[in-house]
Amino acid sequence: MTLPPLPKGMGAMGGAFDLSSLRKPPLTINPEHLGYVVTQANLVSELLPASNEAIVIILCWSARSAQAQSLIPMIYQFNLDDYTTDGVPTWIFATVDVDAEPAVAKAMQVKSIPLAIAIIQEQLVPLFESIPAAEQVRAVIDKVIELGAQKGVGTLVDTSATTDNSSAVMTQQGSEPALEPEEELAMAAIERGDLAAAKSAYELWVKRSPGSALANLGLIQIELMLRIEGLDPTEVLAKADAIPEDLMLQIRAADCEIAQGNFDGAADRLIAAVKFNQGDDRKRARDHLLLIFSMVDADDPRLPKVRQRLASALF
């Protein structure tokens, strides 16, 4: 799988890196789960050179985002349990606190969190920029490991015993996995900055293989990026707060919030829109909230409560 850098403007919501609208929940991370903690000092001197021998996967997070924090133990556990040779992880899991290391965040062009980035032979490879389900995270990791093996970096491990992913991971002695034809089209479109064409390719892939976690993840990512492309989140949120009756503004603001990792803010905003509106507008607000639900882990403990609030708003 070829995962080129994001084109200029993709995921860039207007101006500077701005996390000021995120709430700041209590920090509940086990320090051991942070893996290799990235700093401005060790990124160039240690981590980049290490990527010539092993795949590096970095999760960019912030204490202001409970959603970003929730991904840390998940990926840490994958690294520790599911991708090992003789008990030793085959790739490096690293994390960077974007608030503590703003220079690193700027160098990596972080626009929203959580953001996962792989490093292969000192090249940055963006992975996902949302809160995907566990099986989707695993599918992306599998593909990155395949890509690394194609470049002679790292070791492929058979994870079929620990995952339901239908695409079995090849061993280094096996044949290289072929790209899906729609995937090739999508990657080529992303390389040239044509997000609309990338979306069309992912839609074809989903239509052919509706159960493919990677295809669905790609489509969700591209659609969100298309909706927020060129938006200034600070401006959008301010306008939405000032004009609560404007449904389109509320939807744009919710997209900005979920892109920044603020699921609670996006859910609160759309539930308020459901209560305020009637008829087709109410349905549109509800449907967009259901879309927001698909961007977080299905096991997220907040989902049942928010679904209950949505039901109360509707009935």
Give per-residue pLDDT as tens, 131-144. 777 778 888 888 88
CB atoms within 10 A of CB 40: 15
Token pair 């000021």: residue: 20
pLDDT band at 290 (very low <50, low <70, confident <90, very high): very high
User: Would the pLDDT of 5 be above 50?
Assistant: no
Q: Residue 159: which of 151, 150, 171 has the closest Cα?
A: 171
pLDDT at 27: 55
What residue has token string 């994001």?
6
Q: Are 129 and 259 contacting, i.e. CB atoms less than 8 angstroms apart? A: yes
The dihedrals phi and psi of 92, each to the nearest 5 degrees, come to -95, 125
CA angle 137, 143, 146 (to 5 degrees): 145
Interatomic CA distance for residues 232 and 185, integer angstroms: 29
Contacts of residue 56, Cβ cutoff 8 Å, sequence gap at least 6: 36, 47, 50, 91, 92, 94, 118, 119, 120
pTM: 0.47
Question: In the structure encoding, which two tokens stand for residue 186, read together?
Answer: 């999508």
Contact indicator for 64, 124 with CB cutoff of 8 Å: no
Does the pLDDT at position 291 exceed 60? Answer: yes
The percent helix, strand, coil of the chain (3-state, each to 5) is 50, 10, 40
Q: With beta carbons less than 8 A apart as the criterion, state whether 140 and 128 touch.
A: yes
CB 70 within 8 A of CB 77: no
The whole-angstrom separation of Cα 233 and Cα 128 is: 19
Q: Region 37-57: what's the mean pLDDT?
A: 90
Residue 29 burial (CB count, 10 A): 17
Taking only Cα atoms into account, the Rg of the chain, rounded to an integer number of angstroms, comes to 19
DSSP state of 95: E
Q: 62, 51, 57: which is closest to 27 by C-alpha?
A: 62
State whether the Cα torsion 182-184-190-194 is positive or negative: negative
Torsion sign (Cα): 137, 140, 146, 150: negative
> In sequence order, what are the residues at sequence separation of 6 or more whose Cβ sits closer than 8 angstroms to the Cβ of residue 130?
114, 220, 221, 224, 258, 259, 295
* Per-residue confidence band for 156, with pLDDT thresholds at 50, 70 and 90: low
Lowest mean pLDDT among 11-15, 81-85, 144-148, 296-300: 11-15
Q: Is the pLDDT of residue 200 over 50?
A: yes
Total residues found in the chain within this entry: 315
